[in-house]
Amino acid sequence: MAMAALRREGRRFAPLISPRPITAVRSSPLYPTLEDEGPLGLRHISTQVVRNRMKSVKNIQKITKAMKMVAASKLRAIQTKTENSRGLWQPFTALLGDLPSADVKKNVVVTISSDKGLCGGINSTSVKISKGLHKLNSGPEKETKYVILGEKAKAQLVRDSKKDIELIITELQKNPLNYTQVSVLADEILKNVEYDALRIVFNKFQSVVSFVPTVSTVLSPEVIEREAESGGKLGDLDSYEVEGGETKGEILQNLAEFQFSCTMFNAVLENACSEQGARMSAMDSSSRNAGDMLDRLTLTYNRTRQASITTELIEIISGASALEG
């Protein structure tokens, strides 16, 4: 009965069989990535190649899912600190004001970025804004320098503006962020650069899928006093009376340094929060893309295996028909 069934199948497949000799579709063990030519001039990819690709995609999907969970855990730890830090710099903005349009001679652009990648375009955004500020505040009598925090901004700015980089600080997030660490960092910046205005570029965290590129401006005590005397908008500073032995200049010096450290602390936390949120989104998209790719590879694998089985069946039927004829 089996032979009779084979003969019936052979008569049904007879019009499809090529008159020339048929070569089985098998991949060479030495060259598993090559495609072999099958009947009727068709080409079939090796099932072993597809299996290897499916295995690689599955491993990548596992890694991206794990990275997403790690980023979510870090985000929860940093988010509370970030929300609490916003209360530090806001009183200084009300007192000393924030004048991004202040026209000064010595500008320092403090660019905050991450040390690691795989977090979307968050670092590229900060670098673009920093370059725009540098171009905007450049002129024949003006000087603009960079202070870079993070490996990613360093890698991009060193290529184009190496001569304008004053200070580079990396591995800031190697240890958990706290105010003591950032205040030491701010003191180091103030000791090594001369400035009339410090323009801090960072990404302000809003949600896991949203962050806003932000620029905070910290003016030097001399510029603050000059702006106050010229009737510029500097918050409510002039409504307070100075008491004690310190002069107004000394108080402004202390306030400016404290404002910079508080603003830096908030900016670093906001950027770290935005980084983890962007990494979560990027890894989630990568996991979904890996799943879609795995579905396509599974379909290709099934079709390839089915084509191979069909070819083997045609060979058996043709052989049986030849023996009987």
Question: What is the residue whose two structure tokens read 């932000």?
Answer: 214
Question: What is the residue whose two structure tokens read 């949120």?
Answer: 277
Mean pLDDT value across the chain? 81
The 3-state DSSP class for residue 181 equals helix
Distance, CA of 275 to CA of 285 (rounded, Å): 15
Q: Residue 244: exposed, middle, or buried by beta-carbon count in 10 A (0-12, 13-18, 19+)?
A: exposed
* Per-residue pLDDT at 224 exceeds 70: yes
* Per-residue pLDDT at 182 exceeds 80: yes
Other CB atoms within 10 A of residue 210 CB: 12
Least confident of 98-112, 203-217, 255-269, 286-300: 98-112
Are 111 and 213 in contact, with CB atoms under 8 Å apart?
no
Are 315 and 24 in contact, with CB atoms under 8 Å apart?
yes
Cβ contacts of 207 within 8 Å, gap of 6 or more? 277
Cβ contacts of 42 within 8 Å, gap of 6 or more? 307
Distance, CA of 46 to CA of 222 (rounded, Å): 74
> Over the stretch 141-166, which tens digit does the pLDDT of each residue have?
889 999 999 999 999 999 988 899 99
Q: Give the residue, 170 or 7, on which the prediction is more confident.
A: 170
> Over the stretch 238-273, which tens digit does the pLDDT of each residue have?
666 766 656 777 888 888 888 899 999 999 999 999
Are 275 and 114 in contact, with CB atoms under 8 Å apart?
yes
Q: Residue 293: exposed, middle, or buried by beta-carbon count in 10 A (0-12, 13-18, 19+)?
A: middle
Give, in degrees to the nearest 5, the angle at Cα 255 between 177 and 182.
15
Would you say the C-alpha torsion 121, 122, 123, 129 has a positive or negative sign? positive
Residue 96 DSSP label: H
Beta-bridge mates of residue 202: 214
Are 144 and 134 in contact, with CB atoms under 8 Å apart?
yes
* Per-residue pLDDT at 11 exceeds 60: no
Tokens coding 136:
């905007």
Distance, CA of 43 to CA of 52 (rounded, Å): 19
pTM score, whole prediction: 0.77
Domains of the chain: 86-232+250-278 (3.40.1380.10)
* Per-residue pLDDT at 23 exceeds 70: no
Instruction: Please give the pLDDT value at position 325.
Output: 64
Least confident of 51-55, 198-202, 222-226: 222-226
| Beta strands 106-112; 197-207: pairing state | parallel
In the chain, the amino acid numbered 152 is: K
Model confidence at 8, pLDDT cuts 50, 70, 90, reads: very low
Q: Give the residue, 120 or 201, on which the prediction is more confident.
A: 201
Q: Give the residue, 1 or 57, on which the prediction is more confident.
A: 57
**C-alpha dist (Å) from residue 189 to 13, 40, 166, 171, 231:** 81, 73, 9, 16, 30
Cβ contacts of 264 within 8 Å, gap of 6 or more? 110, 182, 185, 186, 200
Least confident of 58-67, 223-232, 315-324: 223-232
**Which helix or strand (DSSP H or E) is residue 178 part of?**
none
- List the one residue out of 147, 131, 21, 93 whose CA is nearest residue 262: 93
Distance, CA of 267 to CA of 280 (rounded, Å): 20
Are 211 and 204 in contact, with CB atoms under 8 Å apart?
yes
Distance, CA of 158 to CA of 163 (rounded, Å): 8
